[in-house]
Chains A and B, each alone.
Chain A
Amino acid sequence: MLTFLEFEKPIAELESKIEELRHLTDNGDINIAEEVGKLQAKVDRLLRQTYAKLLPAQKVQVARHPNRPHFTDYVGALIEDFSPLAGDRAYAEDRAIIGGIGRFRGYSVLVVGQEKGHDTETRILHNFGAAKPEGYRKVQRLMQLAERFQLPVICLVDTAGAYPGVGAEQRGQAEAIARCIETCLRIKVPLVAAIIGEGGSGGAIAIAAADRVLMLEHSIYSVISPEGCASILWRDRTQASEAAIALRLTAQDLKELGVADQIVSEPIGGAHRDHAASIAVVGDALETALSELRGQDGTTLRLRRREKFIEMGMHTLS
């Protein structure tokens, strides 16, 4: 069952009308097929129009859509022989971040990313994609492994943020994220990150200090959630839509600001309406990015990665 967002109400109404008509077909009325076709065309038009001019606050909802393809969906469809590798070798296995080696379009790679889960059970299992220090330490370990065997790294980012908890603080959440960024900036293998849904603050950049940063068309990436920003700066959480505008957190904003290198188009009506198509375009974009980086000398790669971040944001000077 597809969950409809509030701004999709007119679309939802049309679709339920189509559903009703389809049930009527059993009665043998001939005009029904034609009517369904008309309505379907209307739905498509409406989806196209709506999704072409989503407001930032609506993009936030789409990026967090429960039916959106998540890490596991991408890996399942894109990676052969995926072999998950668990644990930080110090404290625990954090299922909020999954990591493993596998084969992507012929080449061995390391894939890491947050998994939000798709139902109550899996959401709890993966802690809603909110990782703890052990998750970020696992990533460091796996990235070092990738470097040792010259495997390119793919990071799929989808998190509301790192987990805020007593245990996480005790075990050094800040240090774990800092070292994770350090590791991203240190490894001498290609590193491509794709923001597939929500890029939430430190928990996201921890695995996204990459050679190439791709963003899905309706994904977001922000220093703070619009709700959090609104409650601090507006002292009112209900001003989140205003904050979403001010923060400039859409893929289109980030491309303009030079933080995202490329926007990957989503199927009409968003990735959640067509998983297969969405995963396929992300796969192609990842392959293109990796093929551009493949064969580059590791030291040069690392130097360019650092230069890219040093330059970042400075062009807005003019």
Chain B
Amino acid sequence: MSFIADLHIHSRYSRAVSRDMVPESLYRWAQLKGITVVGTGDFTHPAWFTELQEKLEPAEPGLYRLKPELAAPVDAEIPAACQAEVRFMLTSEISSIYKRHERTRKVHNLIFAPSFSAVANMTDKLARIGNLHSDGRPILGLDSEELLRIMLERAPEALFVPAHAWTPHFSVFGANSGFDSLEECFGDLSPHIQVIETGLSSDPPMNWRLSQLDGITLISNSDAHSPSKLGREANVLNGDLSFDGIKAAFTSGEPALFWGTIEFFPEEGKYHFDGHRNCQVRMSPEEARAHDDACPECGKPVTRGVMHRVEILADQPAGHRAQRALPYRSLVPLVELISEVRGAGVNTKGVTEVYKQLLASLGNEFEILMNVPIAAIEENGGMLLALAIQRMREGNVTIAPGYDGEYGTVRLLSQEDRQSHASQTSLF
């Protein structure tokens, strides 16, 4: 059986996260998106942890489901075409800010845990180190290596994954406060790092250029802060639907267990290119090098993007395929496609209506983006949308890359496309 997992999300107890990030919404949106296993996020937060214990019940080993009495009212509102089982995995992200080798480091790490008791074992210790109450993604003055050690001591069966490994400010390879290698960050414990999360701004081929990542499995998650962002990136698994099954798929990188990942177009990520947001300056790595990494507007150093950072650490040519290279598919969220077709904002009522209607007739979002025949899309969503999805599936997209915290913008349709189709058909 093949299923999709998105394991890095945040609850309403994290900063700058939608109030709607509650188990019921996760359950609802996982079905709309086509996700089978969704991370709970934020298991270190005491209130969220209690809420999870109240609302979830054990399902397959190491996984949980929403209690039936809570699931039923949600199910009633979900189009039959999307209805599916949803499982929860206990996951969390920790922000470590600390000094190592005389420099300040800021690294986000994910922990996936198989049970409430494993979580409690870890949080007992973490609560003594820092404050877990104020933020679902707590800031700890704890070295990443120490955090890993605590996990190995207290919950050895859990899985440790450096999060969005390339973002400039808060990641293991980040240009501003990260490291040049996993060894530098995790010391003697680095063999325990077998999996990293690539983040929105990088895709597998960029990571394949580092020989040090040859034996590492690359995974992808949405890091969603609101329910509709679920599944922006995700993992497609073939193995056992259980904690150990998923962990084995990740740690082995075995194609029989792990098909591969669903990706953003990396250019769309917030930190793909170099640049300076305040001055609206976006630069490719070559352009930045030509300017000595300084912003031509204000003269300050630009924020170095993921592309540039990868080039610095890369020791293999572009196009190199790693031993563990797995397939991947680059997708654009459906609402963005509808929004482009209609020329209206992603949050407008019209776009939302079309989105709902498509899901009701064609099934969940991943189905529509990846599998539903183009003809069926055209029938239900019009020719322009069908054309956009076809182009997306072919990788035929135009993107203004993201930089310094600004998302990139994707375009699939040209002015000509609109003109030639406008005469033939109305949208619906």
Question: Are A and B co-members of a single complex?
Answer: no
List residues of B whose CB falls within 8 A of some A CB. Answer: none
